[in-house]
Amino acid sequence: MNILLTNDDGYTALGIKELSSALGISNNIFLVAPKKNCSGMSAAISLHQEIAVEEIAKNIYAVSGTPADCSYLGLLSIISEPIDMIVSGINLGANLGEDVFYSGTVGAAIAGRRLTYVPVAFSVAAYHPKNIKFIAQKASEITQQATNLPADQNLLVNVNFPDIPASEVQGIKITSLGKRGVPDSPKLVRKNKSSALYSFGASGGLIPNQKNTDIQAVNNNFISISILDYNLTATDSNLGLFEEVFVNA
């Protein structure tokens, strides 16, 4: 299988290196990733901007643009062989709950929705993981399992690992996205007469009384798998309500 491997941490990041090694045992890997860290860019593309692509080694490319740029360049330009699947990660830091809206890891995988196999995004709940080799091996297994999913042009598999040894993993859970409360206020870094500098911090905490969320699963030492549906049109069952509000008013 030809896999386009990307991320948002950059092509030299530990997570993508370990995942490339694990996936490369039984697949052809084409690594196309940002030249520098691009966390939080979601699926942004560098519209009407020049993007530099540097060939680092055979089938390894560093891109001056966004994670999504990397995916589209790999699919549509710099790789001549047909790509069967996009895999993104392993991101250093979890992508849980509503963080998926902002995640460059998830954003990079979105471009793979119309390929032969459903795209997969991997993250670990640690910035300096101690068990990355095990996590990469398990991610490779999950990638292979994902090829058994029915073809669907709107699905994406979002996987989050706790950073624990294999012996402590309680299993795998299929989860919903946890809903968070109000995020922390942006931090004022410094201010002068005409402008101010701010820095964004953590997302809000998990809203209580939710069940079977990805956040809870990882906190309880499970590997979380959430299936994201990018069919952005409202379901047919709701269309009558919307017609009453907007058309028949």
Give the model confidence (pLDDT) of 161-173 as tens digits: 999 999 999 999 9
Which of the pair, 194 or 222, is modelled with greater confidence?
A: 222
Sign of the Cα torsion 204, 219, 94, 149 reads negative
β-pair partners for 241: none
* pTM exceeding 0.85: yes
Q: What are the extents of the domains in the chain?
A: 2-179+207-246
Kindly report, residue by residue over 182-194, the tens digit of the pLDDT: 888 888 999 988 8
Residue 244 is predicted with a pLDDT of: 80
Indicate the pLDDT class of residue 249, thresholds 50, 70 and 90: low
- 2-179+207-246: in CATH 3.30.1360.70: no
